[in-house]
């Protein structure tokens, strides 16, 4: 005869409690995931209202100036622009069809072009962000175009043109002049002949 294994009522209660606890844990996890997903979708919809597109190069941005071409001629994105952006990132045109991973991808992409989901940025803060990024881009361009001793040459231009010893102290308009200076050097004009120019701001 087979061996009969007796299960006490206490064991049965413990097993039942463990099952209920596991069920509650799974429900809490589902609720948490749903809440997190809803928060991400809400942030993306907020981003849609703030997103702009550069009329010159069709780059998306959340700054007051395009980070790619430094143009200021921006327009508010339309629904079609927004859905194109979603499709490029996820191959889907609606947040409700996206997985959590895809929603995170969209948010991260928006953050790289200036979206700040946690807090609203003041106009002054936004301008400073643009100025800082422009200065970084200017230094990268200067290194390519001016070659050896590019830093000294760029600082020399800033001193003579604006009485400032570093591009980090320049305004957005002054940085634009610096970019113009680099474009002229790139076209073949010598840095020495341009270094004394004081261009209109």
pTM exceeds cut of 0.85: no
Check pLDDT > 70 for residue 55: yes
Average pLDDT over residues 70-96: 90
Q: At what angle do helices 172-186 and 123-146 cross, to 10 degrees?
A: 20
Does residue 47 carry a pLDDT above 70?
Answer: yes
Predicted pLDDT of residue 201: 32
Q: What is the DSSP string of 104-132?
A: HHHHHHHHHTT--SSSPPPHHHHHHHHHH
Which residues touch 196 (CB under 8 Å, ≥6 apart)?
160
pLDDT of 21 reads 52
pLDDT value at position 200? 37
**Mean per-residue pLDDT of the chain:** 79
Residue pair 168/135 in contact by the 8 Å Cβ criterion: yes
d(CA 195, CA 201): 16
Name the pLDDT band for 121 (thresholds 50, 70, 90): low
């Amino acid at each position: 005869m087979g061996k009969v294994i007796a299960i006490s009522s206490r064991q049965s209660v413990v097993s039942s409690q463990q099952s209920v606890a596991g069920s509650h844990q799974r429900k809490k996890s589902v609720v948490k995931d749903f809440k997190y997903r809803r928060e991400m979708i809400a942030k993306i919809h907020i981003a849609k209202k703030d997103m702009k597109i550069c009329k010159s190069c069709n780059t998306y941005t959340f700054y007051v100036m395009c980070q790619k071409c430094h143009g200021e001629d921006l327009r508010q994105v339309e629904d079609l622009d927004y859905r194109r952006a979603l499709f490029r990132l996820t191959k889907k045109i609606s947040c409700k069809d996206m997985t959590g991973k895809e929603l995170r991808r969209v948010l991260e992409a928006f953050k790289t072009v200036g979206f700040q989901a946690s807090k609203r940025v003041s106009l002054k803060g936004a301008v400073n962000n643009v100025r800082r990024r422009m200065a970084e881009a200017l230094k990268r361009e200067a290194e390519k175009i001016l070659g050896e001793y590019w830093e000294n040459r760029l600082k020399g231009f800033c001193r003579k043109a604006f009485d400032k010893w570093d591009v980090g102290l320049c305004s957005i308009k002054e940085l634009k002049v610096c970019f113009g200076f680099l474009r002229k050097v790139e076209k073949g004009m010598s840095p020495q002949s341009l270094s004394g120019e004081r261009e209109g701001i």
